[in-house]
Structure formats: structure tokens, C-alpha cells
Chain A
Amino acid sequence: MILEMSNIYKTYLQGNMEVPVLKDINFSVEEGEYVAIMGPSGSGKSTLMNIIGCLDQATSGTYILDGKAIENYSDKELAKVRNEYIGFVFQTFNLLPKQSALDNVALPLQYAGVPRRYRKERCIEALSLVGLEDRVNFKPTQLSGGQKQRVAIARAMINKPKILLADEPTGALDSKSGVQVMELFSELHKQGITIIMITHSDEIASYADRVIKIVDGQILDEHNHIASQYDDIEREKYETDAQDYGDSDASDKEV
């Protein structure tokens, strides 16, 4: 188990009013899994992502990441966790516009304390893995959307994180670039990286092994994406089949 959340609540204060955003979230992710989190706007999926990514901490509940409970971590320790365990990919890429692709990819190495002279080689290697070895010195403004997102993926992967956390990774891309990015994700998934991805597109979610749906701050329904293709009756039928066949995926649903 790379990640386990139990009884996670998150409440924001708005004036004097407490606004619950996440209510009793329980789920876990195995190492090497590919999970999509889906939900409408305001459902709390972004807040959940932030907690998974250690950008935010839950109001209550237990979050265990790679065997360590992180709820009492200090700012400094959280920064270290983000740097070592998690690679972020954002909808709008979030590249530094005045720095080259190489310098953008090098940022996590800098924060990890890797000396400058060792960074370049590793960054070029990471950029060639995403097919951008000939764009190393380009600035983001000289790159297409798909290329920018691939630079962002190279940056996310540079410290060899356990989890790749993607927030609408294709949301700002045309469908062709979107497919390229998703293929890259699948490639990384094959190499054993755990991927957790937020999306509102069923098509994108279909790349994942498992889909978690959130509505109003609660996990509504958790099932693998094959199941989501069927209507309720067919799903019941599928679940019966799954039990019959002893499908190991069935155990996930109980979590």
C-alpha cells in the first residue's frame, strides 16, 4: 500500500461558518496502481488531491503515505515529502516562462540539494524520455501545449517519485496532444509508477485501472473503469460475475 486514507475530514472556515469539504474519505492505493478521481466542480476532488500531494493537511483523519503517517509533519518535512515522493503535473503546466525547459526540469533537483554540475545530465535524460531531447534549451513560450506538458512530466519524474499526481493533465490540450500525454502516462504506469489523476472526462479516466467518484465531499462510488461502461443492471451482473470468478479487484470496493 503506497497510500492509505481513513476517516479524512477537511473543513474550511468561511467567516464564522464551518464549510465541510471532505467528509469521511476512506480509500487506499496500491503501489503501481493507476487511479482516476472524478467528480463535478466543487465536489472536493481538488482538495483531496491537495491532501494527497501534501500541499494541504486534513482537519482530521489519518493519511499514511508509504507507511508513514504525515498529519503532524512540519512545513519543512512536507516540502521534503513533496520533493521526494510526489511528482506534480498541472492542467496549466506551471512552467517558469523565463527559464529553459532544462532549468524548469532541474527545479526539483535544486530543492533536493543536487549540485549544479550533476543536474544537467539527469535533466537531458528526463527530457529525452518524454521525446524532447531536441528542445532542451527552448523556453516554454517556444513550445506547443503538448510539449509544455511533457516538460512538466519530465520535471515531475526527475526525482524518481513514487506517485505521479496529475490534475486535469489534458484539460488545456487539444485531443491529439492529450492522447500523447495519456500514452506517456500509460508508459510510466508500465514502468511501475503509481499514478493518481483528476479528470472530469470519462475518456481520459478510461486510461486508469480504477476510478474513484466524488460528489459533495464523499466517495460516491468506486469501481474499475470497465464497470463504468455498463448500466446499473449490467454492473450488478458484472459484480456477480466478478464474485464468481473471484476477481481480486472486488476487494478494493470494500475499502
Chain B
Amino acid sequence: MENLRLSFQGIWSHKLRSFLTMLGIIIGIAAIIAIVSTIKGTNEQIKDNLIGAGDNVVHVQIYDGDWTYTSGNGSSLSGVPMIDDELMTLILDIDEVAKASAYRTGYVMEGVYYQKNSAQGGTIYGIDDNYFDVEGYSLVSGRSFTEDDRSNNKKMIIMDETAAETLFNNENPVGKSVEINKEVFTVVGVVSETDKFEPVVKDINEWYTYYGQDSQGKFFVPDNMWPMLYGFDEPYNVVLKATRTEDMTDAGKKTAELLNSRIVGYSAEPSQEGTTQNAKYKGEDLMQKTKELQDLSNATSKQLIWIAGISLIVGGIGVMNIMLVSVTERTREIGLKKALGARKKVILGQFLTEAAVLTSLGGILGVGAGIGLAYIVSDVASVPVAISGSAIAISVVFSMVIGIIFGFIPSVKAANLNPIDALRYE
């Protein structure tokens, strides 16, 4: 405590010198904080882009070999069980799964027609009652499917806003009829994504990553319409809502394992020549994908941190230099203190504390400057910024450690001064 007070007095009485000494540390720490904040910002952006706005939605899709299976593209899968109430209960029993819904997807090869308008390349979804809730859609107009629609096999359809726009321009689609695969469906509602997440997109590759599908809009029919549209009870996909973001990967994996165990002839080993069963469920692993992208951006930035670290060493040498000057200047003071009974330990502690306080102050100022720098960089280069609390704490502690390391030699020199020589020093 005594030493702290003395240190601040000493630093304050040489303001300019102390500031110049700290400058090396300030610049080094500022550079590191700015780099770390930018990396963290970029990483969080990658995560947000892939995982979405924290809605924890995971898709477990049926694959045919390496490709996701979609009804209506000519191939078919056998031995894949339907997802009935019993199987759905087992899925919901998985700890990491909060909500689940089964759905099927299909191409509409000939398109969807309304009078002379058509939507080409859209995707049609056969959905159960929970789908909109799990996937995060809400009704914009009209109504959802009713029990009556399902039990009487009524040909009702709901579309998203993109599809409504394509087919109906500014007309209200509700109550109108559209044609799919020569079947006529009545539009009962229009939905939109509740929390429409807008990924930050910087180039065309990212656009494909985030927007590649569904550009033509989505159509939804009750899942029991499937045999009418595609002739068979095709395999289902599952969409899950994980209990927590960290559980997304596990939720997907466990659900996929459960479903795979029901596929006739499924083996966990990669399919060999001659095996007939190509069907398998795979949970999308967004966390994994996020991590891969983040690792890439981290690798380049780590080198930058090392370079910034060099400036900290230079700053530390500056601190050592000025502490040596300070010890020489205060030789008489040291001699006096020793004459009055100060032990080596006391003198050592005083100078070490002063060095550590000096560099810690530098570290704190550096953190401030670094945060400022990060925001300037983010403004100029439109890079996202996220301030990392742990980086700030580590920086301040690290600058303190630099003070102790580089202050050690001057402090030992001070502590070992001979009191007589020190008192005689002019």
C-alpha cells in the first residue's frame, strides 16, 4: 500500500517522462487489443451468419449418398421409416432437443402456376403442425392448416412472402387457387420468417453460403398430401430447436443416430461397393462449420499479435532504461532509507512496484487506445468489432508482468546499493 502511494507520487511528479516511458507499452497493448477485437468481431459475425440470430434451429436431413434427398428428382430411397408419433416422441426425449418437427421437401419440376404466372425452381414442403413454430415462421395473412384440412385431405397450400410476390404480385393470395403437378390447391395463408436474419455478406461466395437456396420462394402443404403429389410416402427430414446454442451439434447428431438406427440395412461404416443402403440422416453441424471458418481467420491474426508483442518488449526495455535512471537519481534517497533501517526487501519492493504501476497504467491506457483504434479500423475498413473482456484483463496483467520483469534489474541494483556510497552520492 505504502509502495503504491509512493509509486503514484513518483510517476505523477515526472508526468512527461512517465508518459513517454509508458508509450511503448501503450502502443503495444493498443495494437493487440485492436487486433483481438477485430478477430473476435469477425468470429462472432461468422458465427451469427451461420447459426442465425440465436434461434438454435438445426436441420437433420435425409441423405442419398453425399446429397440431400429431395422428392421428385427421379431417384428414390427404400427402407427409410416414416416419422410417426412414436418416433417423434423419442426425438423429443433427447435432452438437447427442445422442439422438433418432421417435414419433407420436394422439387416442383413443372413449377407452380397461378393463372399466367409461374414460380419455377421453388421448393415444396410437406409439414406437420409444429413446423412453423420450430422453423420460426408466422402468419402474415390467412390461416394455418387445421385438423379438418388434414383429416379430409383438403388440398390447401400456404406460401411464404417471396412465393406470394412471384405469383400474385400485389394481389392477396388467400382464397385463390394455384396448380402444382396438375393438382389444384387453395391458398389459405401467407407466412414470413419471424426473425428474418440478415447475414452480413461481403462477397458472392458468402451469398451462396447464406442465400443459395429458396430464392424462388417456399410452398407448404400438409405432409399427408405427399402421396398425391409424388406418388409415395417419401422419407421425412426433421427440424429441431436445440435447448441451447452449444447443444445444437449434439441435438443434430443424436437425432441423426436415432433415425439412422431405424433405417433398414443401415451401417455406420462408410458404404462399401455392393451395399445397397445409401440412405442416412445427418445433422447439420453449424458449430463445426463455424469453427473451421473462425480458425482460418484466427491463423492469420495470430501472426499479427506476435508482431505487436515485439513492441511490448521494446516498451519493456524503455521501462528498464528509465528505472535505471530513476535509481541513479534517487541514490541519496535509497541511502537515507537504508540508514533509517529499510531492508533490501523494502527498497526492492518500492522499485518493483513503481515499475509495475508504470506499465500497468500504460496497459490500461493502451486498452483504451486499442478500443478506440478498433472502432476506427471498423469504421474505415467495415470490419466488425467485439471487445473481449478477457483480452483486456490479460493485457493489463501482462503489462504488469512486463513491469516486474524489466523493473527487476534496476530494483535489484537499488536494493544492493551500499548505504554509505548512496548517502555520499551527489
Contacts and interface: CB of A to CB of B under 8 A. Distances in A.
Interface stretch (B77-85, B317-325, B337-345): B337-345
Given A94-B336, A98-B13, A75 B343 contact: yes
B423 A94 contact: yes
B53 interface: no
Given A94-B332, A94-B336, A50 B341 contact: no
A90 interface: yes
B140 interface: no
Contact of A84 (B339, B341, B420): B341
A80 B339 contact: no
B9 interface: yes
Interface stretch (A108-116, A170-178, A180-188, A242-250): A108-116
Interface centre among A55, A75, A90 (most CB of B within 10 A): A55
Given A94-B336, A111-B346, A80 B423 contact: no
Given A96-B333, A96-B336, A83 B423 contact: no
Interface in A183-239: none
A82 B339 CA distance: 6
B340 A155 contact: yes
Contacts of B340: 82-83, 88, 107-108, 111, 155
Contacts of A107: 337, 340, 342
Nearest to B13: A98
A56 interface: yes
A79 B338 contact: yes
Interface string A36-56: 000000000000001001011
Per DSSP, chain A at the interface is helix
A94 B332 CA distance: 8
A76 interface: yes
A20 to B, nearest CB: 17
Interface of A: 50, 53, 55-56, 75-76, 79-80, 82-84, 88, 90, 94, 96, 98, 107-108, 110-112, 116, 155, 159
26 contacts: A55-B338, A55-B423, A56-B420, A76-B344, A79-B342, A82-B341, A83-B340, A83-B341, A88-B339, A88-B340, A90-B336, A90-B423, A94-B336, A94-B339, A98-B9, A98-B13, A107-B337, A107-B340, A107-B342, A108-B340, A108-B341, A110-B2, A111-B343, A116-B1, A155-B340, A159-B341
Interface of B: 1-2, 9, 13, 332-333, 336-344, 346, 419-420, 423
The 6 closest A-B pairs by CB, nearest first: A83-B341, A111-B341, A79-B343, A94-B336, A82-B341, A55-B419
